[in-house]
Structure 1
């Protein structure tokens, strides 16, 4: 059952990512190369891509990423994607048509699907708080990349880290606050997971 669910989720997430890529190329305001770089400069795109890859692997080789923590890390990342969008970014634009559908998939539907998948299949009882440090490497590496590249290209994918508009001190403060949110969110998932975990054999048989 799990491979089939994973396959359907992979299709949904890949559809959102690929369609967003096509829409961005179609409406580009920079060169094709620069547009592609900018596309993969969004945490939303990178994280949804990771989700698509994860579900694809689970559909083909469900035992490959079986260690407890991988799914939770992904769930934390995409939960932040959804939460930050709903709280800080949704009000700044109003997409229509296909763009609106893709926007909702990337920021609302896909995060909810991943959370549901996590609840059913993660080996939550094996999660440990010490794993959080490792999970932070991805958002920290992303932040460094965005700030370094932005200093040369003047392109920052999100207003709360746009150094050219809010200055580096405020951008770093905002980034620090987001890292705290990552830590708290991860701790919540671990706490909840440890207390609501079910028997591993039940999950595998679902």
Structure 2
């Protein structure tokens, strides 16, 4: 937890506050756009809500905004203690890094959003990954991560992948083109998923390496 007892700590707390507000702002804008679109088409708003939470980007940004809010506030709770554990925050950092990289490499060229959609897109895919990685670097205690934590972290994307395939099979709607079974077939989808999972593991190893390096440096300087 960031304690505002020094000028540096105050600056960090302000940074966390701004990052948390931007995180929830991006999610709120995106939710409004989806619900407004559904309302305009006289479609189910509940269906729009379910569609909103079918995206890995949205789920991960929600986790990011939750961690930042827990860091910003001081009210103790079991949920707050859980989210602020270094291995939990670090796992979320890996996931949001994957969101930013996957979007830039695989999805950005497929569409060109404008107006409020552009703002929501930038916040969730560019701004929040960068801000949360800065938060992880500056505010999350270092030196506690182990390679074994990767086994816990990969549960999240694996469960999401299984859910997306099941939902896509039932509704014939897939949240991302690289897991669209109807167009690509299961073999190619699993190859794509394996590539993304490999990238997830590589980023996880990088985060663990940085955690150990920063932990050793903190001990030496302390």
Q: Equivalent residue for 1:199?
A: 218
Q: Which residue of 2 aligns with 1:40?
A: 53
Matching of residue 14 in structure 1 with residue 24 in structure 2 = yes
The match for 1:56 among 56, 69, 85 is 69
Q: Deviations over 1:18-44 (max 9, x none)?
A: 110001112236422222111100000
Instruction: Please say if residues 44 and 81 of structure 1, whose CA atoms lie closer than 8 Å, have aligned partners that are also in contact.
Output: yes
Q: Per the alignment, in what secondary structure is the counterpart of residue 95 of structure 1?
A: coil
- SS of aligned partner of 1:8: helix
Instruction: Measure, in 1, the Cα distance between the counterparts of 2:30 and 2:69.
Output: 19
Between 61-70 and 145-154, report the one with greater CA deviation: 61-70
Q: What is the deviation of 1:172?
A: 1.3
- In the comparison of the two structures, how many residue pairs are matched? 202
CA RMSD of aligned residues (A): 1.9
Q: Which sections of structure 2, spanning at least 5 residues, go unmatched?
A: 1-9
Give the aligned partner of residue 83 of structure 1: 101
1:160 alignment counterpart: 178
Deviates more, 1:157-166 or 1:20-29: 20-29
115-124 vs 78-87, greater mean Cα deviation: 115-124
Select the structure of larger CA radius of gyration: 2
Q: Which has the higher contact order (CA 8 A, sep 6+)?
A: 1
* Unaligned ranges ≥5, structure 1: none
User: 1:3: how far off?
Assistant: 4.1
Which position in structure 1 is the counterpart of 2:201?
183
1:68 aligned partner = 86
How far has the Cα of 1:193 moved from its partner?
A: 2.1
Q: Distance in 2 between matches of 1:168 and 1:183?
A: 22
TM-score, length-scaled by structure 2: 0.85
2:113 is matched with 95
Q: Does the aligned pair in 2 maintain the 1:82–1:111 contact within 8 Å? A: yes
Q: Which residue number in structure 2 is paired with residue 26 of structure 1?
A: 36
